[in-house]
Amino acid sequence: MWCIGYVLLILSFLPCGCSGDAFRFASYYGDHMVLQKAPAGAVLWGYGSSGAQVKFLLSGPHSTQTNTTAVNNGIWRVTLEPVPAGGPYNLTAIQKGTSSSKILLTDLLFGDVWLCGGQSNMAFTLAQVYNASEELALAPKYPNVRVFQAALEQSSVELKDLPRVEVPWSRPSAEILGGKDFTHFSAVCWLFGRYLYETLQYPVGLVESCWGGTPVEAWSSPRALQKCGLQTSESSNIEGGPHSDSVLWNAMIHPLLHMTIKGVIWFQGEDNAQYNQDKYSCTFPAMIDDWRMMFHTGSDSQTAADFPFGFVQLCTYRKHTHDGFPEIRWHQTADYGYAPNQRMKNTFMAVALDLPDEHSPWGSIHPRDKQDVAYRLVLGARAVAYGEKGVSFQGPFPTRVLFYKNYLNITYNQMIRTSPSNDTFEICCSVYQKACGSGSEWFPAALQEQDRVSDSVLVSVDGCSADSVAALRYAWSDWPCEFKDCPVYSADSALPAPPFIINRWPAHS
């Protein structure tokens, strides 16, 4: 009986349930999968008998190729020659040697593969959104948008392969996309892929790896965290659950590094509003840098070293409270207020603060309008990831503020449309001409000349002389606007202006 237990213990340490040197693909390959199209080459890998040779035959409408590689230390790996978008393809893998085996994968497509990560608003499923029944009914009409989902797992060490798979590569269906709340396939991920397909008109592969209620630290390697002054060990403690440093990087991102991808979309930050909030302007960009480096290296340089990274700026949580959302929204941009920027190049941001949902059955922190979120992400992807000209993807951002006796003139980087607002703009006063600090008092600055199209706005400075206005901020609250009713939008694309804060004098004055 002791011997049986000992054998089971040994088997538990083999990668992803493999028994010894059984010939197979790694966990995230299978029928119906999407592999990254040309100009990149897709990486294939798996397990086999050490010393054996593995031969591959890829056959389809645009490419027929063969590859051979050896199995070293139980692992084989090969990079395909770039394949144009399209399909379907069949892939045959044959292991030759003392233990011959054959695997056939069918209905493969080549297109763009996007990884979707984050916490519960990314995990929010299509069955939970507004108009869920209509959205689910549409799913089968997009057979070339395929989905894959990693299961929720954590680890104290970096894993080679995913411990489990929640949804294997699948064609979309109401059943696949309408699973259990927060634990089945992501609505934002699916809608992003669906909208993107309508522009690209070639296959899109969507890989979801996210977990609700998790901080950025859990998704970051110790290497990335150390760059922000967070000292961790290579063996993070998983007893603290999925909040612990690096445990989700280890189990749910590191195993994917051999995958060739086009880019990433990300919806996370709520959990950092009260946890290492002041570090987020470092930890989030550092995580992006680290993922880029590691996916590039892990895919034999097939994934771009600066692959596009899109993210959702946080929506809302509670009215008349301060839960740290304004600060996190600002830190999501590395304190620039917009993306891309000098610190976060090749990124794009979907502003969501005008999409609150006070009566969401899943709490106001989980708004049901994921369609607008995905649409705004796709605008960013089209402009940044695909270089499409003439796509307006950023909300208005101020370029100049002029201080007059009774008002401020704010000039934006594009034409804007304004509507009434009495408290979305705020000013801070300092008779000593010093920067406003954390304990400073802010006053509403009413918007003048409302309901007009221009490139500038005027806000009053009643109660504070122009000479003593030390700072100006916009939408700096957890819940700054009602649904699609912020005071400033772009005139051409109706995108909301992101929050900003402008200090007139430096903090050291």
Q: Residue 422: which pLDDT band, with cuts at 50, 70 and 90?
A: confident
The answer to whether residues 317 and 327 touch, using CB atoms and an 8 Å cutoff, is no
Q: How far apart are CA 382 and CA 321, in angstroms?
A: 36
Nearest of 156, 167, 210 to residue 27 by alpha carbon:
167
Mean of pLDDT values over 437-448: 83
What's the pLDDT score for residue 343?
97
pLDDT at 237: 62
Average pLDDT over every residue of 471-494: 94
CATH level 3 topology of 110-385 = Rossmann fold (3.40.50)
- In degrees and rounded to multiples of 5, residue 480 shows phi and psi of -80, -20
3-state secondary structure of 113: strand
Q: Which residues contact 168 (CB under 8 A, 6 or more apart)?
A: 30, 148
Q: Which residue has the tokens 């699609």?
A: 484
**pLDDT at site 122:** 97
Which helix (H) or strand (E) is 453 found in, with range? strand 453-460
Percentage of the chain beyond pLDDT 90 is 78
pLDDT beyond 70 at 451: no
Helix (H) or strand (E) holding 46: strand 43-47
Taken in order 367, 149, 385, 254, the sign of the CA dihedral is positive
Of 137-146, 148-157, 199-208, 446-455, which range is least confident?
446-455
What three-state secondary structure class fits 297? helix
Q: Which residue has the higher pLDDT, 116 or 470?
A: 116
Distance separating alpha carbons of residues 178 and 125, to the nearest angstrom: 7
Among 140-144, 199-203, 420-424, the range scoring the smallest mean pLDDT is 420-424
| 393: region left, alpha or beta (phi > 0 left; psi from -120 to 50 alpha) | alpha
Task: Provide the mean pLDDT of the chain.
Answer: 91
Mean pLDDT over residues 442-450, rounded?
A: 84
| Beta partners for residue 490, in sequence order | 416
Task: Output the pTM of the full model.
Answer: 0.93
CA angle 100, 104, 108 (to 5 degrees): 150
Among 164-178, 241-255, 418-432, the range scoring the smallest mean pLDDT is 418-432
Compute the distance between CA of residue 405 and CA of residue 469 in angstroms, rounded to an integer.
10
Range of weakest confidence among 189-193, 283-287, 418-422: 418-422
At 333, phi and psi to the nearest 5?
A: -100, 15
Q: Are 145 and 193 in contact (CB under 8 A)?
A: yes
| Helix, strand, coil share (%) of the chain residues, nearest 5 | 25, 30, 45
DSSP 115: E
Q: Which CATH superfamily is domain 22-108 in?
A: Immunoglobulins (2.60.40.10)
- pLDDT beyond 60 at 10: no
At 304 the pLDDT is 98
Q: Could you tell me which of 381, 378, 388, 386 has the C-alpha nearest to residue 194?
A: 378
The phi, psi pair for 71, rounded to 5°, reads -95, 120
CB 177 within 8 A of CB 126: yes
> pLDDT tens digits for 344-399?
999 999 999 999 999 999 999 999 999 999 999 999 999 999 999 999 999 999 99
Q: pLDDT class for 5, splitting at 50, 70, 90?
A: very low
pLDDT class for 508, splitting at 50, 70, 90? Answer: low
| CA 18 to centroid of chain Cα atoms | 31
End-to-end CA distance of the chain: 75
Burial 338-364, CB ≥16 within 10 A → b, else e: bbbeebbebbbbbbbbbbbbeebeeeb
468 exposure class (CB count in 10 Å sphere: 0-12, 13-18, 19+): middle
Spatial separation of the C-alpha atoms in residues 83 and 96, rounded to whole Å: 26
What phi and psi values does residue 155 have, to the nearest 5 degrees?
-150, 150
pLDDT band at 189 (very low <50, low <70, confident <90, very high): very high
**Per-residue confidence band for 18, with pLDDT thresholds at 50, 70 and 90:** very low
Give me the mean pLDDT over the 129-155 stretch: 96
Residue 8, pLDDT > 70, answer no
**Token pair 């901080």 is at which residue?**
215
Flag whether pLDDT at 27 surpasses 60: yes
Strands (DSSP E) contained in 227-293 are 263-267
Q: What is the mean pLDDT of residues 434-445?
A: 82
Phi and psi at residue 248, to the nearest 5°: -90, -30
Average of pLDDT values for 286-290?
Answer: 98
Residue of higher predicted confidence among 338 and 467: 338
What is the mean predicted confidence (pLDDT) over 70-82? 96
Mean pLDDT of 474-494: 94
Average pLDDT (177-185) is 84
The stretch 230-244 carries a mean pLDDT of 71
Task: Output the pLDDT for position 238.
Answer: 60
Q: Hey, what are 448's tokens?
A: 């003048």
Query: Residue 17: is its pLDDT beyond 60?
Result: no
Residue 62: pLDDT band by 50, 70, 90 thresholds? Answer: confident
